[in-house]
Amino acid sequence: MPSSKHFVMIASLSLVSSALADTSGVPDGTYSVDPQHGYILFSYSHFGLSNPSVGFNKFDATLELDADNPEQSSIDVAIDAASIDSRVPVFNDHLRGEQFFNTDAFPGIRFEATSIEAKGDSRYEITGDLSMKGVTKPITLDASIVATTHPFKRVPVVGVSATGQLLRSDWDLGAYAPSVSDEVTLTIEVEMLKQE
């Protein structure tokens, strides 16, 4: 039989769910990524045989939130390119090399939002400039942005789930295309905590 603690947790999560509909339940200000709950990944087709996912282990994400008008907010993501992680060490070295990210010459990747457009039901279209390997081009991400008080940490928190498509060759990363797909899916999953 479920314990009373189990029922309390269900009730708490139900309250959280009802609070996620918009950002007005949390205060304006600066929100930074919770390093225990942040993921940036990209996936691609490998010779049509599989769709690997590769991530970055070190990055910062900052949200300057206008809670009543989230379209006036700003989002900035800075990635340590050398922290790329395919879970295969020899491939990581290959990705850091000149043929791909050339991290010795271009150590950082950055995304800066230029517009946030509400699409309803906590959905947004985030357009911004993505800078990699000395090239800056715009991309658009489909995102959900939700906000509440963190159920355990008891501080305001904003969750951002965003995904978009890009052609890696646009950033001088086109080696082995089209056998390895030029099309890449970028995914950003972050929980962002209010900063004092």
Tokens for 30, please give them: 């600066």
Mean pLDDT in residue range 120-145 = 96
In tens, the pLDDT along 48-73 reads 999 999 999 999 999 999 999 999 99
CA distances from 145 to 72, 139, 157 (A): 13, 18, 11
CATH code, residues 4-194: 2.40.128.110
* Among the listed residues 88, 67, 86, the one whose alpha carbon sits nearest the alpha carbon of residue 21: 67
Per-residue pLDDT, 16: 39
Q: In the predicted model, is pLDDT for residue 161 greater than 70?
A: yes
Q: How confident is the model at residue 24 (pLDDT cuts 50, 70, 90)?
A: confident
Q: What is the pLDDT of residues 88-119, one digit of tens each?
A: 999 999 999 999 999 999 999 999 999 999 99
The least confident of 12-26, 35-49, 58-72, 149-163 is 12-26
* CA distance to 82, 119, 142, per residue, from 101 (Å): 8, 34, 25
What sections of the chain are H helices per DSSP?
Answer: 4-19, 89-96
CA pair distance 159, 166, nearest whole angstrom = 23
Domain boundaries, the chain: 4-194
Whole-angstrom distance, CA of residue 123 vs CA of residue 132:
27
Lowest-confidence segment of 2-16, 39-53, 98-112 by average pLDDT? 2-16
**Residue partners of 139: CB distance under 8 A and separation at least 6:** 111, 127, 128, 130, 164, 166, 186
How sure is the predictor about 19, in pLDDT bands with cuts at 50, 70 and 90? very low
